[in-house]
Amino acid sequence: MSEWDVNLEFVEGTSTKFWRARVEGKTLFINYGRVGTPGQTQPKDFPSHELARREFDKLLAERRKKGYVDAGRGSAADVDEDEVNDDREPDDEDDDDVSAIVAPATVQSVHMRLETGSRRVEATLYLDGNTVRMASAETYESPEAARNAHEKLKRLLAAEGYKEA
């Protein structure tokens, strides 16, 4: 699977979403969801590469108008007024967007990715005054490998003094 042509984020209140897309041949792939999750991927087939690309451009413009910014650039509050329309609204694709991550509109964020063998980690770091938050998702080749990583991480955190809340 190739890299995403565009990777955007939207931060407002407790809503932290991502939207990314790419065109491969005649297919437009869209991946969206809450930051820190793998999200949902939707492929859309078109009669030609040109039509797929046109739809990509249209959807990208719509997301930017709603206040989405390039991942890692910061919040929508960091974007110049001329770059987005002020009557932006949150994306309708993920209505149940109450996240455990509190990310006020003043937060700065950076999205990072690590790929080693069959392990892929996506993490977003948030800086808000004197608080740093992190949301991450690790993907493995099998449920068993993920379960083993989960148990190992729980043991490491417990050894550092973390307790289940």
Q: Cα Rg for the chain, rounded, in angstroms?
A: 18
Residues in Cβ contact with 7 at an 8 Å cutoff, skipping those fewer than 6 apart: 18, 20, 70, 71, 111
* Structure confidence by residue, pLDDT tens digits, 70-102: 886 544 333 333 333 333 333 444 433 333 333
- C-alpha distances out from residue 5 to 57, 102, 150, 154, Å: 11, 28, 31, 35
What's residue 2's pLDDT?
Answer: 44
CATH superfamily of 6-159: WGR domain (2.20.140.10)
Residue pLDDT, tens place only, 117-130: 888 887 777 776 77
The larger pLDDT score, comparing residue 29 to residue 14, is at 29
Distance CA 90, CA 16 (A): 10
Q: Once rounded to an integer, what is the mean pLDDT over residues 135-155?
A: 87
Please report the pLDDT score of residue 18 as a whole number: 92
Q: Where are the domains of the chain?
A: 6-159
pLDDT band at 32 (very low <50, low <70, confident <90, very high): very high
Confidence (pLDDT) at 20: 92
pTM assigned to the model = 0.46
